[in-house]
């Protein structure tokens, strides 16, 4: 089983209708059991549906798609889109994180869409994936907030230590983010 996530850089209908771009997207998706595409920017939902339909026609009809709601502040909105092979994994649950923790409201520019998969043919039977696309200026704060996301989801799903995986574009070029990222990963691994 292989899992991936990548930032498609403002993927919309115009990009998807470019046959070369669509061909590359399908090649990428086809290599993985689960793949997240970040920064899908299409209010209508036609872009991700177009990729899904083209993919099913050309490669394999075993893929399903899950899409977040439009996420972001002000006029900038994007979606997280996940394609997964239903013959390899089963989607058990999903949750669009609500960014309303008292004292820490609106910590995320784009709230994570958390997906929980059953993986019957692998050693890891219970897999939770958390896609994150942080804002460059808020990356440290958003990485810190991931602690709360992990705790809340473990409590909500009453999980006994599933494998947690952050599928992310951290935008963490500044040195302070290295520390926040390390603390987040360390924290998640201890739960």
Q: With both helix axes pointing from N to C terminus, report the angle between 19-30 and 46-58 in degrees, rounded to the nearest 10.
A: 70
Considering the candidates 39, 55, 95, 133, report the single residue annotated as catalytic. Answer: 133
Distances (CA, A) of 182 to 31, 117, 130, 133, 179: 29, 25, 16, 17, 5
Q: Order across the sheet with 90-96: list the strands.
A: 90-96, 113-118, 126-133, 163-169
Structural tokens at position 56? 């099913």
Asked if 78 is an active-site residue, the reply is yes
Asked if 147 is an active-site residue, the reply is no
Considering the candidates 39, 55, 78, 111, report the single residue annotated as catalytic. Answer: 78
CA dist 32 and 14 (Å) reads 25
CA dist 61 and 117 (Å) reads 19
CA dist 97 and 92 (Å) reads 16
| Cα Rg of the chain (Å, integer) | 16
Single out the residue of 127, 131, 123 nearest to residue 82, CA to CA: 131
Residues catalogued as catalytic: 78, 133
């Amino acid at each position: 089983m292989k899992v991936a996530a990548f930032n498609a850089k403002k993927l919309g209908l115009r990009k998807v209708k470019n046959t070369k771009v669509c061909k590359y997207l399908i090649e990428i998706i086809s290599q993985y059991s689960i793949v997240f595409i970040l920064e899908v920017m299409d209010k209508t939902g036609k872009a991700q549906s177009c990729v899904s339909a083209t993919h099913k026609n050309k490669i394999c009809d075993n893929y399903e798609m899950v899409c977040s709601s439009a996420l972001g502040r002000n006029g900038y909105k994007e979606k997280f889109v996940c394609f997964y092979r239903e013959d390899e994994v089963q989607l058990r649950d999903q949750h669009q994180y609500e960014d309303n923790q008292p004292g820490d409201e609106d910590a995320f520019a784009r709230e994570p869409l958390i997906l929980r998969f059953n993986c019957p043919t692998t050693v890891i039977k219970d897999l939770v994936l958390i896609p994150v696309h942080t804002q460059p200026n808020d990356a440290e704060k958003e990485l810190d907030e991931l602690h709360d996301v992990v705790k809340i989801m473990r409590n909500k799903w009453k999980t006994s230590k599933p494998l947690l995986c952050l599928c992310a574009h951290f935008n963490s070029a500044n040195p302070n983010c290295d520390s926040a990222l390390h603390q987040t990963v360390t924290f998640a691994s201890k739960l």
